[in-house]
Amino acid sequence: MGVSRGALVVSTVLVALLQTGCVSKESEMLGAPVEGYNHTSAAINRFTVNGAGGPNLGPYSGGGGQVCCGSVPRYWRPGLRAIVEWEKDPNPRPVIPLKRNKYGSLDPDDYKKHAANYTSHRMVVDIPLYQEAGTLKMHFLPCDQVSVSADNNFYDTPGYPYNFPRKMEDTECPKT
């Protein structure tokens, strides 16, 4: 008993249709590690970029750790922006030592007094052109400014979109 020519054509067409449905489409968004660079004398207690959290950053530090994962478009497009939110400790190393218990934890009352000076910030910033998507990198700058990159270049190398010094002097910030 043979297979009819019509059944063979129909089954060939069905197999072809099923195979084209199985071809994976290139994803528009890519997972991206989040890292930060703090160019100020303040501490960045926590931050997020488009909702993805990054590591806390001491004064004049960063680049040593990444947190997974944010997401970036595979291809840059005009108008690409990021929402950055962060909490800042403007005086991370107070002159007056804070009391600690026998386990090294801060005295709760001292901590509350110190934490009362923390400030919260939110900015929407442009993401500069990139050729290849990579790590989401935040740069915390004086006067509560922030810059973001999402490229595959390393900070302080040719091709990186920003040339910020590691330590930026605190300046007189405009009153808002």
Q: What domains, with CATH codes, occur in the chain?
A: 27-151 (2.60.40)
Q: Could you tell me the pTM of the whole model?
A: 0.79
Task: Count other Cβ atoms within 10 Å, centred on residue 98.
Answer: 12
Contact indicator for 135, 152 with CB cutoff of 8 Å: yes
E-state strands within 1-154: 29-38, 43-49, 52-54, 67-73, 81-89, 119-126, 133-141, 145-151
15-45 confidence digits (pLDDT tens): 555 555 555 677 899 999 999 999 999 999 9
Query: Residue 127's pLDDT is what?
Result: 97
Residue 15's pLDDT is what? 59
* Phi/psi of residue 164, nearest 5 degrees: -75, 135
Each residue's pLDDT tens digit in the chain (176 positions)?
Answer: 566 766 565 666 555 555 555 556 778 999 999 999 999 999 999 999 999 998 899 999 987 778 888 999 999 999 999 999 999 999 888 776 777 888 888 788 878 888 899 999 999 999 999 999 999 999 999 999 999 999 998 888 888 999 899 999 767 888 76
- pLDDT of 142 reads 95
Pairing of strands 43-49, 52-54: antiparallel
